[in-house]
Amino acid sequence: MSLQYPPDKHWWAHNFPFVLGRGDSDHVVWDGNTFCGWNSHYELYWGLIQRAYDFCIKYRGEKEWRAYEDGNDHWLRSSALFEEIKEAVAEVVDQEHAATITSDFTARMERLAEEADNFPLPSEDRPRLQKEQSTSIFNFQRWFSRVVDYVSASWEAVKLVLLERYKLSPRLTVTKSINYPPEGDEFLF
Amino acid sequence: MFTAGHFPRDITRPRGGSSIIERSSLYSVFDEIVLLEYLTPETRQQLEMFNRKKEKLYNDTMQELQLEFRFIWLFDTREACKVAIRSRNG
Is residue B59 situated within a structural domain? yes
For every one of its 189 residues, what pLDDT tens digit does chain A have, with 9 covering 90 and above?
A: 667 778 888 888 888 888 888 777 678 888 888 898 888 898 899 999 999 999 998 999 888 888 888 888 999 999 999 999 999 999 888 888 989 999 999 999 999 999 888 877 766 555 555 555 555 567 788 888 889 999 999 999 999 999 988 888 876 655 565 565 566 655 554
Is residue B78 situated within a structural domain? yes
Q: What angle do CA A167, B7, A132 make, to 5 degrees?
A: 165
> Does this model's pTM top 0.90?
no
**Number of domain units in chain B:** 1
B65 CB neighbours in chain A (<8 A) are none
| pLDDT of B44 above 60 | yes
B29 CB within 8 Å of a chain A CB: no
Is residue B13 situated within a structural domain? no
Cα A15 to Cα A12, A56, A81, B83, distances in angstroms? 5, 16, 22, 10
CB B55 within 8 A of CB B18: no
Domain boundaries, chain A: 9-117
Contact yes or no for A18 and B17 at CB 8 A: no
Contact yes or no for B88 and A178 at CB 8 A: no
ipTM beyond cut 0.90 = no
Is residue B37 situated within a structural domain? yes
Please provide the distance, in angstroms rounded to a whole number, between the alpha carbons at the two ends of chain B.
32
Q: Residue A155: left (phi > 0), alpha (psi -120 to 50), or beta? A: alpha
Structural domain containing residue B26:
20-89
A38 CB neighbours in chain B (<8 A) are 23-24, 70, 72
Gap between the Cα atoms of B15 and B42, Å rounded: 17
